[in-house]
Every structure is written in C-alpha cells, then in structure tokens.
Amino acid sequence: MFACVIGGCEYLSKLDKLKADLAELKSQADAARETADLRRQEWAEIKAAKNKLDQLSARMAEVNRQRDLLDTQERKLTSEIKYMADSMTAAVENTRASAIGNVIPELRLEGRPALHNAKIFKITDDSISFLHEDGVANLHVKSDELPREFVEKYDLGPKSIHLGLQHLIGELEGLK
C-alpha cells in the first residue's frame, strides 16, 4: 500500500507538472495566436499598400505617357509657329525691300506740305525715309506723320505683326 501511496503521490506530482506544462503551452499558444493575428493584419496592410503602390505606378506611367505626348505636340506646335512666324517675317521684309526705290508722284501729308516725287529709300519698323524734290523726309509712325495706308501696307509701328512675330520667336527660343 505504501507503494500505492508513493505511486499516487508520484502520479499527482507528474499530473501537477503536466498541468503546469499544459498551462504554459496554452499561454505560449495564445501568444503565438496573437502574434499570428498581428502578422496577418500586417500582411493585409502590406498587400493593401502594394496594391496602392501598383495603382499609383500605373497612374504615374499614364501621366508620363501623356506628358511625353504633350511634349511632342508642344515641340511640333512650337516648330510650326516658328516656321509661320519666320515665313510672315520674311514676307514683311520682302514687301518692304520691294518698296525701296518706288516713287510716289505726290505724297500728301496732314499738317505738312506734300512731298513731290518722293522715292522710298529706307523702311524701318517705325518709319519710312523718302528722297523728294526738296530733300529728305523721315516720317515716323509714333508721331502720326506717316499716312495710315503706308503703316498698314508695310506693317509698321508698335502694333505691327512683324514686331509681334519677332517677340513671339524670341519667347519661343527662350522656352528651349
């Protein structure tokens, strides 16, 4: 019987130890479960962040594609505008150059005596110079000495297309 008691005590002692081990394992399992839940949440957040990053990357790629397309269109338009501006500038300069040597039998001016046999010898952006029977006359747009028909025909003055185009070409070249 003594052996039974000792065996029972030993059994109870082992049982207590096993219960303690089981409690410890339960505690460790709970901690592992909590850690696993946290890791699952972190993984879900990482996946969501990756999805957002993928979406942003796709949008960025589209924005870059559109920017490249706009850059190409801008270069094309700038080139076309520069070509047209150069062409119009050349046309104005040709019109002015072809006028050199033209003789106007009588050039009537407001508030001044008429110029007789006035020969155009120089045209600038804001004036025309004439040789005439009585000498030389340099008529300016700013002081309204030049008749309106000359201002329009030879594109003179501060509002001239020629000056505007030169300014536009300068701006376009400044963009490069």
- pLDDT, tens digit (0-9, with 9 covering 90-100), for 88-114: 888 988 999 999 999 999 998 888 889
Residue 165 has what pLDDT? Answer: 80
How confident is the prediction for the chain on average, in pLDDT? 87
8: pLDDT confidence band, cut at 50, 70 and 90?
A: low
Cα separation, 63 vs 73, whole angstroms: 15
Q: What are phi and psi of 102, to 5 degrees?
A: -65, 140
* Type of residue numbered 111: G
Residue with tokens 């804001």: 126
H helix runs in 100-135, sequence order = none
Mean pLDDT of 22-37: 87
Report helix, strand or coil for 141. Answer: coil
Report helix, strand or coil for 33. Answer: helix
Cβ-count burial 158-170 (b if 16+ within 10 Å, e if not): eebebbebeebee
Beta bridge partners of 118: 104
Name the pTM for this structure.
Answer: 0.59
